[in-house]
Amino acid sequence: MMQTRTRFLSFEEYLSYDDGTENLYELFNGELIEVPPESGLNIEIANFLFSLFLPMVGHRRLRGHGLELEVRGEPKNRYPDLTIIQDEHIQLLKQRNTIRLNMVPPLLVVEVVSPGELQRDRDYIAKRSQYQDMGIPEYWIVDPQAKTVTVLELLDAAYTTVETVQGNNLIRSPQFPELRVTSTQIFN
C-alpha cells in the first residue's frame, strides 16, 4: 500500500508527487484535496464545445478537464472544463499537462458551473480572479442552471463582461470571432 503525503511546502514539491493513480488533486494550503468527477451534464457541454472549437484550432490545442493550471491563491491549481492552449504549450505539456505561472497563458478557459452555491461562487468569483491574474485573454462561465453563457475578456489586466447570453442569441468570442453558437445549442 502506498503511503500518501498530506502536506506540501511548495508547488514544485507537489508537482513531483505521484500516488500512482489518475486522481486529480487541488493543492489547498499545502494539502491535497481530491477533485470529484464532473457531472455527466458538465461533460456533455464541454464535449459539445470541444467539437465546435476542434475545426478552428485542431486537436493539439484543445484540452479537457485534465489540464492543470497553476494559479495564485488557494487552491494553487485549477482544472478547467475546456481550455484552448497556444502553440508553444503543445511541446511543454507533453510530460505533464500543467500550465505554470511562468508560461504564457492559454487563449481561452471555459468553466461549466456545477450545482450549488459553493460551486457557483468558485466559478464566478474565485476562478475569475485567478484566471484574470494569469492573464488569460478570454474566460467563459457556462451556467446550466441559469442557462446562460457569460463571456469575459481581459482588458487592461481586468475582466470585462463582453456579454451574458441566453436563448437563441449568438455568443460573441473576442478570441474566436468565427464561432457561431447560441446558448440554446449549448444547453440542448
- Given a cut of 90, is residue 162 above it in pLDDT? yes
pLDDT at residue 107 is higher than 50: yes
| Phi and psi torsions of 134, nearest 5° | -70, -20
- Residues 168, 92: Cα–Cα separation, whole Å: 39
Confidence of residue 1 (pLDDT cuts 50, 70, 90): very low
> Which residue, among 174, 105, 169, has the nearest Cα to 140 in the 3D structure?
174
Domains of the chain: residue spans and CATH:
39-187 (3.90.1570.10)
| Residue 2 pLDDT | 43
Does residue 36 register a pLDDT over 90? Answer: no
Q: What is the model's pLDDT at position 45? A: 97
In this prediction, residues 38-50 reach a mean pLDDT of 94
Strand partners, 34: 25
For the record, the C-alpha cell of 133 comes out as: 491574474
Look over the chain and give the mean of its residue pLDDT values, rounded to a whole number.
Answer: 93
Q: Are residues 133 and 72 in contact, defined by beta-carbon separation less than 8 angstroms?
A: yes
46-78 residue pLDDT tens: 999 999 999 999 999 999 989 999 999 999 999
- Does residue 13 have a pLDDT over 80? yes
Distance, in Å, from the CA atom of 100 to the CA atom of 111, rounded to the nearest integer, reads 19
Strands of the sheet containing 68-70, edge to edge, are 77-78, 68-70, 98-99
Between CA 115 and CA 60 the distance in angstroms is 30
pLDDT value of position 44: 96
Share of the chain above pLDDT 70, in %: 97
When mean pLDDT is compared across 27-41, 125-139, 145-159, the lowest value belongs to 27-41
- Cα–Cα–Cα angle for 96, 43, 149, rounded to 5 degrees: 105
Determine the residue type at 117. E
pLDDT tops 70 at residue 15: yes
Cell numbers that stand for 164 in this block: 451574458
